[in-house]
Amino acid sequence: MDRDAALDRVARIVDAVEADTLPVPVREVWVYGDVALGLDPIDRLDVYVTKDILLRGDPDAAEEFERSHGVKGVGKSIRAEWAREHPDRIRANTNGYAAPEKCLAAHLLPDDEPIHLEVCNASFEDNVTQRLKGALARDAYEQILDPRGVCLYAEGQRSPTALEKLRNSEFAFPTLSAALEMLGMDESEATTAVEALKSHRAEQTGMTVRGDVV
């Protein structure tokens, strides 16, 4: 993926978070990995979004959309207002409930670009730590979240400089193995983790999305 095209896409994502009614409130937008490192071209664009939970439910909407679309949870897990504006973008999980991460992907991303979207209720930095702990406990290194990230939007405000610095490749980060060692992994384990992440990443195609709860 051409770097300029990737960063244009990132800018459109932040624009949408600022201006659009989304399926759920979004508190943070980060990019991480290749695009943060200044690579050109990049294999995939990695975007991380911190979402908030809806505070008030809409039971009438839940019944309405379960009848009309066969999807449960509209008005509870995603905004009813958004679902009425974008019924074609409603996405459900395997249990038939509206999936916030899939709905956000449908709203923010095209289907045909190599973009991975991570959606979680926790901040990027907190989830980096939690995912690392989980990966170590289960020897599931492919689930590690690359800690080398750049925050573009937080608490209702866009960073005034982050996107420009990304365009100019001004951020300096260590290698992934060194970054993982800084988080507490030993050298051998970090090397193994990097290989697992590379292998997992090579298997991904098109747009992918992962929802997480911490």
Contact 113, 9 (CB under 8 A): yes
Q: How confident is the model at residue 58 (pLDDT cuts 50, 70, 90)?
A: confident
pTM (predicted TM-score): 0.94
Q: Mean pLDDT in the chain?
A: 94
Q: What is the mean pLDDT of residues 146-159?
A: 96
Would you say residue 55 has pLDDT above 90? no
Percent of the chain with pLDDT strictly greater than 70? 100
pLDDT interval class at 165 (50, 70, 90): very high
Strands (E), the chain: 26-32, 45-51, 115-120, 149-154, 157-158, 208-212
Cβ(98)–Cβ(188) under 8 Å? no
State mean pLDDT over 162-178.
96
Model confidence at 185, in pLDDT bands (50, 70, 90)?
very high
Residue 181 vs residues 101, 167, 173, 188: alpha-carbon distances, Å: 30, 28, 13, 9
Local confidence band at 60 (pLDDT 50, 70, 90 cut-offs): confident
The answer to whether 20 touches 107, Cβ cutoff 8 Å, is yes
Model pLDDT for residues 6-52, shown as the tens digit of each residue: 999 999 999 999 999 999 999 999 999 999 999 999 999 999 999 99
What local confidence, expressed as pLDDT, does residue 190 receive?
95
As a whole number, mean pLDDT of residues 65-85 equals 94
Q: Would strands 26-32 and 149-154 be described as parallel, antiparallel, or unpaired? A: antiparallel
